[in-house]
Amino acid sequence: MNGRLLMFRWLTRHILDPLSAALAFLVYHGVRVLPLDAASALGGLLARVIGPCLPLQRVARDNLRAAFPEKSEAEIATILSGMWDNLGRTFFEIPHIARMVALGRVEMVGLEHAEALRDDGRPGLFWSAHLGNWELTCLGASQIGMPLHRIYRRPNNRSMDWLFSKSRAFADGELLPKGAAGAKRAMALLKKGGHLAMMLDQKMNDGIAVPFFGRPAMTASALGAFAVRYECPIVALRAIRTTGAHFRVEFYPPYTLNGTGNRVADEQAAMVHVNAVIESWIREHPEQWLWVHRRWPKTNAV
């Protein structure tokens, strides 16, 4: 059994992963030559056709049933179709992100809140969630000339890491992989007065249990830890798809944590607040969130 597992891992690392990366490279550059609207529509169409055939369809359906027990199966099916459409569009829009503002596709709301962090001479934190086209959330920073260092989860297929670097090169700042090395570098950048951005709606097994849609979800507490340690302001933002390949990026007013001196309690309170805000966003636009993510423990799944 161990021999078979080692062979499978070798095949994955040396054959399947490079082949997947090569295919992604071809798709990326093929989509890049298409007009934005055509690329977005094609991605949505393909995802609506292929997505329901994948095992992830069941994960998404179970998550939706647990989060919205009051919704009918027809309503859940509609949300699922919208989710696949949004996901496919998002992936096929990635090659066009750097010029979306120039094309007039992104409305910026509350950008003055980001400017306030840029000009206050202090470190600052930005956070968001995988909603709408989440890759657009850093566009505001590039528009106002503010370097934004971003924490991200490296893909399991390391041959795909080029896609993260290429698709996010439009904004100045470092890409910091999750983990001890990334956290150490993030603290060094904050200590120098830098600005950090992170996504906070993914499961983190070594995080803390925080309510999310009425169920405990393991949640990264880095935002709370950084905010408490460096006493820096926090700005929440989201990128909502308004229609087709048109978007609204919303920056919320800055806030600071009211520290009690109890680090653990302060971090917990910070993440309870974050999950509550993300939940409110998802309830407003359920078809635009990444329901295929295994956000909750399997024991809590329907």
The per-residue DSSP string of 187-202 comes to HHHHHTT-EEEEE--S
Tokens of 220: 């990264």
In a domain, 206, yes or no: yes
Domain that holds residue 113: 106-300
Per-residue confidence (pLDDT) for residue 146, from 0 to 100: 93
Per-residue confidence (pLDDT) for residue 101, from 0 to 100: 86
In a domain, 246, yes or no: yes
Domain final residue pick, 61, 96, 131? 96
What backbone torsions phi and psi does residue 55 show, to the nearest 5 degrees? -60, -25
In a domain, 295, yes or no: yes
Residues 72 and 110 in one domain: no
Per-residue confidence (pLDDT) for residue 112, from 0 to 100: 96
Q: What share of the chain is helix, strand, coil (3-state, %, to 5)?
A: 55, 20, 25
The pLDDT profile of the chain, 302 residues, written as one tens digit per residue, is: 567 767 667 667 767 777 777 777 788 888 999 999 999 999 999 999 999 999 999 999 999 999 999 999 999 999 999 999 999 999 999 999 888 988 999 999 999 999 999 999 999 999 999 999 999 998 888 889 999 999 887 767 666 666 666 656 667 888 888 888 888 999 999 999 999 999 999 998 888 999 999 999 999 999 999 998 998 999 999 999 999 999 999 999 999 988 788 888 999 999 999 999 999 999 999 999 999 999 998 754 44
Cβ atoms of 160 and 269 closer than 8 Å: no
Residue 228 CA to residue 196 CA, distance in Å, equals 14
What pTM, to 2 d.p., does this model score?
0.89
**Alpha helices, H only, the chain:** 2-11, 17-32, 36-50, 56-67, 73-93, 111-119, 139-143, 161-167, 180-191, 222-230, 263-284
Residues 139 and 230 in one domain: yes
In a domain, 256, yes or no: yes
Residues 83 and 111 in one domain: no
Residues 89 and 173 in one domain: no
Residues 76 and 114 in one domain: no
Residues 127 and 274 in one domain: yes
Residues 134 and 230 in one domain: yes
Residues 12 and 155 in one domain: no
Residue 232 CA to residue 126 CA, distance in Å, equals 10
Residue 4: count of CB within 10 angstroms of its CB = 8
Domain final residue pick, 65, 96, 127? 96
Per-residue confidence (pLDDT) for residue 168, from 0 to 100: 63
Domain final residue pick, 73, 96, 119? 96
Residues 81 and 126 in one domain: no
Residues 140 and 221 in one domain: yes
Our count of domains for the chain comes to 2
Residues 278 and 144 in one domain: yes
In a domain, 237, yes or no: yes
Residues 143 and 232 in one domain: yes
Q: What is the pairing mode between strands 234-243 and 246-251?
A: antiparallel
Tokens of 66: 């647990």
In a domain, 101, yes or no: no
